[in-house]
Structure 1
Amino acid sequence: MGIIVSLPGGGGGGTDLQLNFGKQIEVRDSFLPPEWYPQSGIQLTWPHEETDWAYMLDEVRECFINIANEITKREKLLIVAPEPEDVKKQLEGKINIDNVIFMQSETNDTWARDHGAITMMDGNSPALLDFTFNGWGLKFASDQDNLITRRGIKQSLLKGRYENRLGFVLEGGSIESDGIGTVLTTSECLLSPNRNGQKNQVEIEEYLRSVLHLERVLWLDYGYLAGDDTDSHIDTLARFCSSKVIAYVKCTDESDVHYEALSKMEEQLKTFKTIAGKPYQLLALPMADKIVVDGERLPATYANFLIMNGAVLCPTYAQPENDQKAIEVLKEAFPDREIIGVDCRALIKQHGSLHCVTMQYPIGVL
């Protein structure tokens, strides 16, 4: 005798958990939810005159407004800004303002993925883990961005148990969770000497396993994008779409500077196994055509998509063939979610994309 409980699964599918009466089963009390876990909302940290966006503010604001519009059609949006009233004026008549929560805070920049809280779930209750963001290895100022999570909790805008993890440097864009105990990351980022250089790989893995309640860490040793400031964040290269599916960037142009590294990345991904011991289903995203501004190649990537309640936002780069191919791959990965393209050419001018400027919060946080 037993009952079947349907749990949220990747790609919008469900995972059935059978509970058999009279038999002992293991229940995970605390876990790192995957991005497809039901969300209470998403954070955007708004661009303003004191950020690196100052020289192209109108252009980047248009991109942020487009992202905000898609979010507020489906869930709550937390906008962090030094001058919320100014942002409200920018948004008048353009988005569903009833779904917006404004938070006043000074900010250095706009990369919410990396300065936002990383949320664990303790049963049905969220725990907000506040790691240090140090500007991707001391490359940029981050003193104000590092205070956003604590300010959000103090203002009662972020709900959940606060967990101080400021002794460890960790960015949300550097880890991918499958929701059942696996984290995918890159060795180039997490082993960067300017992040947690006092720890070796074994010590870092032990720390992550303990704090994030993991069964294992999969280390990706290859792959990078020219122009990337993050030291190869995993969300620029390979992403979990479910506990069995990984979408990754594939380079087919042998003359491209990325070809060798991304080919080695693909071969390593083929060696990875699910917790059940089976190979992952690998879905190849196209490599964006080269985009160069002022002599510098920009890190355009289709892996920087955002999974939402009922939808996936896919970055596009005014490359019709590649954009459409990326959307088709994500349709295969997420068959019951709407796939929406958002032009992110503005974002890559500051070396990030759509996923980098957003941070999702599971149910119970907003």
Structure 2
Amino acid sequence: MSQPSLGGKESANVRDAMASGWISGTGPYVDAFERSLEQRTGRASATAVSSGTTALEIVLSALGIGPGDEVVVPALTFAAPAAAVLTVGAVPVLCDVDPGNWTIDPGAARALLTPRTKAVLAVDLMGHPCDYERLAELDVLVIEDAAQAHGARTAQGVAGGFGVASVFSFHANKVITSGEGGAVLTDDPELADRVRLIAHHGMTASDGYRHRVVGRNGRMTNLTAAVGTAQTERWDELVRGRLTVARHYDARLTGHGFVPRPHEPWASPSCWLYCVTSPERDAAVERARRNGADARAVWPALSDLPLYRRYAPRPCIHASAISRTAMWLPTWSHMGPEDVAAVTESLLRAPGLS
């Protein structure tokens, strides 16, 4: 489905980290990676952590969100945002998405707010930023999950720069990767301090083993950050590469019954995994896979899963409909036109025919 784009600089950085002996949760590459993320997003502070899910859990804890609290979460997303809310003891409240961009619908979110609502966790789905102008009107904390949106932007700013805090993921299938890894970004210095404290076992380097809060080991290793630092130096190249792949797919699939995911005129999305919809999605996925291409159906709407449907106070009609018709096609930054052609041909020809 996706391949990391790794080169000589990534390898050189890892060798350098190994030679230095700094391989665990501290080291110069962690610091360099954090500074590069601050520069890319314009945020005052970035804290590198072990995964995007860890980033979500830590920022929720740092904001004091826990038992008795509610967090509004889109119903169309990977499960990590809802799972993170449950992990800190709060309740995810599943919200429908806007069919015009597939991100959380601010109007639907407003209807779900209660005195227990502490935040809206907005997911920049598949590279499309949320409508943060409208979300700001809800007068509730907004946390941006930009895990899939490296390089995306709106007129108001870049993905990773919205809300009281934002998070990135650097999983192997992301545009910018460190294998595993994540980050919490914020402009609030007190929140940044709490995030770092929780991620480092609740202690600071200057205060030894005097734990100030109940923390966890959420740190990113220096080896991981060595890869991530090299990737951030290639940020524009990697973002541009996937957008080029998306344009190749658009050109080849136009007129064949596959509709690219929508986007708003106010947004400049990035491409995480190229996504199309088809009323015959399941048959198309099966056809592609039989012909050797790793096409996949997108996640089911969380509101349709037995584990999570209890957290949907209202029907999530659009999330359900999209999840039943949308599919991903293989996507990576160095994917060539011939690879795109092979995938599209696998979708369009009968199984087993050459």
Q: Verify same fold: TM over 0.5.
A: no
In terms of fraction of residues, the more helix-rich structure is 2
TM-score, L = length of structure 2:
0.28
- Judging by fraction of residues, say which structure has more strand: 1
State the TM-score, normalized to the length of structure 1.
0.28
